[in-house]
């Protein structure tokens, strides 16, 4: 039997990044697979939208796990879970989240150092303790599992790049398989992240980083490129534009820009044999 975690791990090659296609339901998962994706990721923001909730703390662990199972079941591709801060503060709780993620069929997941109570960052030592517990749980599993440790304080505006580098080095030593500093100030800063570890680094292709291409990420040593909520946001933009035209102006012309049913259906059924 194929170890999906091992398949997923093999994709992580510093300087030769693959694209983790972050999807938000079974349909988007099947479409991404049909278009040639190598691996999928969940997105907490994208999932929150499907439930009519806000991101950053409104999704429960049970909801995230159930959602992950839907994505895992949709295709045969490896799937990584966007599991925010592990849905709890305590290191043992985070370790349990890792075990439950594996039981849900995930090939990996990411855990960030954000305290959801006030969107601050956990103290350094406590953040490292959480990573150590999660890494130990990942190594105790019967199958391979790629654990990503995120240092989100730069993106959230609560610490600087020097602190982010300090954290990912410590997260690396604590056993994380992949390191991630979302939205550093520049490509130069992202290169600093890559230089701080021999392990794969995840880069987020969103905001200003969406202007860079795969070759640019490869050149600085990135091992994985994720999309976060960006792809679902593109979908939401199309929804907003069409709906506003209809409701505000009685203009239905944006509906002419939809994908054909035949094209979508072909992607939804491409792997049925």
pLDDT, tens digit (0-9, with 9 covering 90-100), for 203-259: 999 999 999 999 999 999 999 999 998 899 999 999 999 999 999 999 999 999 998
Question: What are the extents of the domains in the chain?
Answer: 4-230
CA dihedral 174, 205, 56, 192 (to 10 degrees): 40
Write the pLDDT tens digit of every residue in 177-210.
999 999 999 999 999 999 999 999 999 999 999 9
- Strands 114-115 and 120-121: what pairing? antiparallel
Q: How confident is the model at residue 273, as a pLDDT?
A: 44
* Position 48 confidence tier, pLDDT thresholds 50, 70, 90: confident
User: What fold, for 4-230?
Assistant: TIM Barrel (3.20.20)
Computed over every residue of the chain, the mean pLDDT equals 94
Given a cut of 90, whether residue 269 has pLDDT beyond it is no
């Amino acid at each position: 039997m194929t170890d999906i975690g091992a398949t997923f791990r093999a994709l992580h090659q510093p300087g030769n990044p693959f694209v983790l296609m972050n999807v938000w339901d079974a349909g988007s998962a099947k479409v991404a697979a049909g278009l040639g994706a190598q691996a999928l990721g969940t997105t907490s923001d994208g999932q929150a939208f499907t439930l009519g909730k806000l991101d950053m703390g409104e999704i429960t662990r049970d909801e995230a796990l159930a959602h992950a199972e839907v994505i895992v079941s949709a295709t045969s591709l490896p799937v990584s879970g966007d599991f925010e801060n592990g849905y709890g503060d305590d290191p043992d709780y985070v370790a349990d989240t890792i075990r439950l993620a594996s039981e849900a069929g995930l090939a990996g997941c990411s855990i960030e150092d954000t305290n959801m109570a006030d969107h601050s960052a956990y103290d350094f030592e406590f953040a490292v303790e959480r990573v150590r517990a999660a890494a130990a749980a990942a190594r105790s599993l019967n199958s391979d599992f790629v654990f990503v440790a995120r240092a989100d304080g730069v993106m959230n505006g609560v610490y600087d790049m020097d602190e982010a580098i300090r954290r990912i080095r410590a997260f690396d030593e604590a056993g994380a398989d992949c390191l991630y500093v979302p939205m550093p100030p520049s490509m130069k800063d992202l290169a600093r992240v890559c230089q701080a570890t021999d392990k794969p680094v995840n880069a987020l292709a969103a905001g200003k980083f969406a202007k860079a291409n795969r070759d640019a990420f490869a050149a600085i040593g990135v091992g994985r490129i994720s999309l976060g909520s960006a792809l679902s946001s593109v979908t939401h933009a199309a929804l907003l534009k069409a709906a506003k035209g209809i409701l505000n102006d009685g203009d239905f012309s944006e509906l002419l820009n939809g994908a054909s049913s035949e094209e979508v259906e072909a992607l939804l059924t491409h792997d049925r044999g």
